[in-house]
Amino acid sequence: MEKWTVETEDGGHLEGHSFLTPAELDPTTAGPPGVVLIHGTLVTDALYRPFARKLSVLLGRPVHCYNRRGRAGSSPQPDDYSVKTEISDLAAVLRETGSTDVVAHSYGGFVALQAARTLPINRLVTYDAAVSLSGNLSHRWRPELEDAVAAGQLNHAWAHLVQGLATAGPLSYLPLGALRMLSILSARTNLGAEMRQLLPTAVKEMRAVLDADAELDDFTALTTPILMLSGGWSPAYFAATGRQLAAAVPSIQFQIVPGQLHEGPIRPGKGLAVRMARFLSGSDGQVRPLGRRR
């Protein structure tokens, strides 16, 4: 794994990590263009590094993941943060890494689909992209989340976030009191503590999704080949959006991935990575086997 930073257009910086196949490790060899992976909300790129490594092996190409604003070694979210911030940041990462393709999860999928309208992306795969169409996600917003974060009541905020987005599987439907207790317990783990620290970034990111609410016509000019995936056990609204976009935009395909939860890209297993790698390789693309390198 190679660590790097890239300067952003507004004078900030992003921290990233790259996974390179043996051919690309040879500085005298010009390797193929890379793939950029964009993570979701309440997490850092650390959770996606095993997935990025799998994609790199399958594709025989470098895969780069980076920490979006407000986490790890990247700059804080600016006061005027919006999806435009994320699109500009993605453009900087694509230039810096020489990448042409993008893989994106959840909020990252929202960023990538918006970016595909203006950036030269060759191929794009999203998983449970959090896109708001005609206000369909407005009822997912909980004003109590923002109020609780402002008041420092992070357990209360986490409970409202989980209930609103319903991305935690059956846990999402527990009463608020039970979710607050789960938040207290999870805060004793490194991942739980990190998620609590990132709650303020989630407020701005959810606002960005709603502020960028779009209509189907906003995407009909897309020509980038796009595969939108949704987990079979993910909240149904992700699949509903994917089906709508695929029906309206010829360059978009939509598929359900049976047996996968919303957090599919950060869970063990290779099936999801293989499906994405085949699309990125082209309609008849072959991928390398995992478990051995050539």
Q: Quick one: DSSP state of residue 61?
A: S
Element (H, E) at 17: strand 13-19
Residue 63 in tokens: 């895969």
- The pLDDT value given to residue 293: 41
pLDDT tens string 65-96: 999 999 999 999 999 999 999 999 999 999 99
- The pLDDT value given to residue 294: 36
Lowest pLDDT segment from 47-51, 230-234, 284-288: 284-288
Residue with tokens 């993605």: 90
- pLDDT(209) > 60: yes
Instruction: Determine whether 89 is exposed, middle or buried from the number of CB atoms within 10 Å of its CB (0-12, 13-18, 19+).
Output: buried
Residue-by-residue DSSP string for 114-159 = HHTTTS--SEEEEES----BTTTTGGG--HHHHHHHHTT-HHHHHH
- pLDDT(26) > 80: no
Count CA within 13 A, CB hemisphere, residue 233.
Answer: 11
- The pLDDT value given to residue 282: 86
